[in-house]
Structures are given as C-alpha cells and as structure tokens.
Structure 1
Amino acid sequence: MSTQGLRVLIADEDREALERLGATLRDLGHEVIAFAIEVSEVAEKVASEDPDISMVVLHADDDHALALIDEISAYASGPVVVLTLREDPEFVASAADRGIDAYARPETPDAVQSAIELALRRHAELARLETKVEQLENALERRATIERAKGILMERHGVDQLTAFERLRTHARATRRRVVDVSREVADGVLQLP
C-alpha cells in the first residue's frame, strides 16, 4: 500500500487538536475522512468510511483515548496509530494491548508520516503472519484428516500405512479429487474404500 494519499480517520477529545492534525495530514497529501470525538461515533464512522489508517491523539484523558482505540481496533481493517504529546510508557503499553500499530509524538509532519509508514508496514506484516499461521493450521488439519483416514483403512483392512495411503491416493486420482477430500469422506464414514 502506498504511504501517500491515504484516507485517514482521526479521533481526539480536543476539536482544535483534530483540526491541526487534519491540516497536517492534508499537507502530507492524505485525505481526512472523518473526525470522531465521542466513542459512540467511532464504530459508525469506521464502518461507513473504512479508512486506510486511523489515528487517535492523546492529550489528557487516557481512558477516553483507550476507549477510542478499543472501538477503532474492533471495526477498522487498517492500522491504528496513537499520537501523544507526552512520554507515557504505561499508556503506550495499554494502547499496544488494544491493538495499535505505531505511536509517535506529532511534533513535525515528518514524525506523523513516519508513524503512518511504520503502522502500515507493521499492519501488513501482521496480516502476512496471520495468513501464514492460517496456512499452517490448514496444513496440519489436512495432515490430521489424512492420518485419521489412513488409520481407519489400516484397522479396517489390516494394511500398513503405505498401503492405506496408496488406496487414498489411487481413489483420489481415479475420481480427480484431492487426497484430503477423499480422506475426509473416509474419516466421516461417507466413503468405504475396498
């Protein structure tokens, strides 16, 4: 994803701060699509606008900012960035637990843009890892299904593992199907192989 021309949702309890951040984001070439002040507004704005990235600005009300982060993280498909004017490791840790992808002090437009770029990269990497985990889980599930079917055939016909697998594979080829699909039917009792 490009780091320029993003649709950015910004949220803060301070309307003046929202306006300043909005101006900074527009100067950086981004489109500010919504201002969300109240926690109750966030879900609707995120759902209707589907921003590329969301930003929460922390001033004084940690609980409000954390509630905004919770809501945005629950509904947004893109990354979440926190901009804070003060160093607060405890808040950043709490925000990280709620799903932020980056944080920065918005002292300069470059700091804001750097936080955006970091968040986009981190979010993309997490998405890749989630996909990889899903692929591995699916592979393990397929393997377990094939092993279960082999065990059934071994017990039912008194054959070894290689012979049981060969029967699954032969039937799969003959019916132009995947071994895992044939194995699933054997394991579910739908298919009785000779």
Structure 2
Amino acid sequence: MDEPAASTTGLRVLAADEDHEALQRFGVLVESLGHEVIATAVDLAETTEVIAREDPDLSVVVVHEDDEHALALIEEVGAFARGPVIAMLEEEDAVFVARAADRGIAAWGRPTSAEALQSAIEVALRRHAELERLSGEVAQLQSALERRAVIERAKGILMERHGLAERDAFERIRSHARSGSIRVVDVAQRVAERELEL
C-alpha cells in the first residue's frame, strides 16, 4: 500500500537566485499556491545562514544566466537543507538538468505557471519522501548486519574458548540473555569485548 504523500500545501519555501528581481517575481508565484516564501538568498553564505535559521520545507533555485552559480547554490542547499531542492529553468536545458541532478535536485521545472511549479513541488516531495524511506531501510539493514557481526564474533570466541559447536555457542549466549532479560546482541557485545565470560 502506498504511504500518504507529504503535504503539498502551506510549505515554507526558500527561494534562491542570483537575481533579486527574479526572486520577487518568483515569490509571488509561490505565494499564489498557498506557500510561504520564508526567505530569499542570493549568495552561498547567505543561503547556508538562511537554511540554518529558517529550516525550510522546500528550496527552489531559480536558474537564469549563471549556471555555475545556480549549481553551487543547489549543492549548498542540498548539503544543508532537510527538504528537497527544485531547479526552475527559464528554458529546457538537458545538460544543466543532468549536472543539477548530480548535485542533488529532486525535480526541475519551468516557472511558466503556478500549476507547473506545483507539479514540480509534488514530484520533489514524493521523491524526497521515497529517498528518506529508503535511507531508513538502509540504516535498519546496516544495524541488523552490525548486530549479526557482533553475534558471530561472540560465537567464534565461545567456540574457540570452550570447543563448542556454533549452535551450542549461540545457545549459551541466548540462555544468558534470557536469564538476565537482556538482548542477545548486548550479551554478544560483552562477550566480544571480553567483558563477559560464559
């Protein structure tokens, strides 16, 4: 079953661009969708400061003439913001979009209308939510692998120390855990660190 998508209304948006006037025009478009432009930024230092202070739900980098500046902004926002980053381009540019994707954009669009912007926002939020979910799954898997490695190390120590079979070594760890109402991995960690003799 699909998980519910993140809210796509009432977002706190950081708008970043090298052009102050373009930022103002873009802000009007964002606000027409019911979102709030919490801050605008032009340079990298200002962008980092705004992200730390305001913690936006979404960041949008509006791209005009200076591709390198826009890419630097995208990279800076991606490194510090918790929400997704969108690139808005005046004209389609596959090369720029590919470079921006490498720097961390979740979506791109053209600010031709409020609907186009909202579509880009919805794509970005869905992709970001999916990446967060996958990141959580990877962290859980990593944790499970680390626990397994600790248990395997402890079993090896007991097998060598007492001449036990693998199953008997595990049973010794599990029995100790049950008798003390503690987790198997915690017992295994103590065995692996030579803090517990079983």
- Which residue in 2 is equivalent to 1:186? 191
Shifted more, 114-123 versus 15-24: the winner is 15-24
1:86-105 Cα deviation digits (max 9, x unpaired): 11111111111111110011
Q: 1:29 aligns with which of 24, 30, 34?
A: 34
Give the Cα–Cα distance (whole angstroms) in 2 for the partners of residues 71 and 162 of structure 1: 51
Give ranges in structure 1 of 5+ residues lacking alignment. Answer: none
1:26-61 Cα deviation digits (max 9, x unpaired): 110000000101222100001100000000000110
In the alignment, structure 1 residue 177 sits paired with structure 2 residue 182:
yes
Give the Cα–Cα distance (whole angstroms) in 2 for the partners of residues 58 and 135 of structure 1: 38
Report the TM-score, using the length of structure 1 for normalisation. Answer: 0.98
Give the Cα–Cα distance (whole angstroms) in 1 for the partners of residues 16 and 133 of structure 2: 27
Give the Cα–Cα distance (whole angstroms) in 2 for the partners of residues 113 and 39 of structure 1: 26
Q: Deviation of residue 74 (structure 1)?
A: 1.2
- Identity of matched residues, %: 61
Give the Cα–Cα distance (whole angstroms) in 2 for the partners of residues 13 and 85 of structure 1: 14
Give the Cα–Cα distance (whole angstroms) in 1 for the partners of residues 168 and 142 of structure 2: 26
Three-state SS of the structure 2 residue aligned to 1:34 is strand
Q: 2:19 aligns with which of 6, 14, 20?
A: 14
The count of residues paired between Structure 1 and Structure 2 equals 193
Give the Cα–Cα distance (whole angstroms) in 1 for the partners of residues 170 and 92 of structure 2: 61
Give the Cα–Cα distance (whole angstroms) in 2 for the partners of residues 38 and 96 of structure 1: 20
Specify the code of the residue in structure 1 equivalent to 2:8.
T
Specify the code of the residue in structure 2 equivalent to 1:127.
E
Q: Deviation of residue 71 (structure 1)?
A: 1.2
Give ranges in structure 2 of 5+ residues lacking alignment. Answer: 1-5
Q: 1:166 aligns with which of 165, 171, 193?
A: 171
1:5-45 Cα deviation digits (max 9, x unpaired): 00000011122211111001111000000010122210000
Give the Cα–Cα distance (whole angstroms) in 2 for the partners of residues 40 and 188 of structure 1: 46
Three-state SS of the structure 1 residue aligned to 2:153 is helix
Report the TM-score, using the length of structure 2 for normalisation. Answer: 0.96
1:118-153 Cα deviation digits (max 9, x unpaired): 101101100110110010011011111111111111
1:10-159 superposed matches below 5 A = 10-159=15-164
Segments ≥4 residues shifted beyond 4 Å: none
When the two chains are superposed, the root-mean-square deviation of aligned CA atoms in Å is 0.8
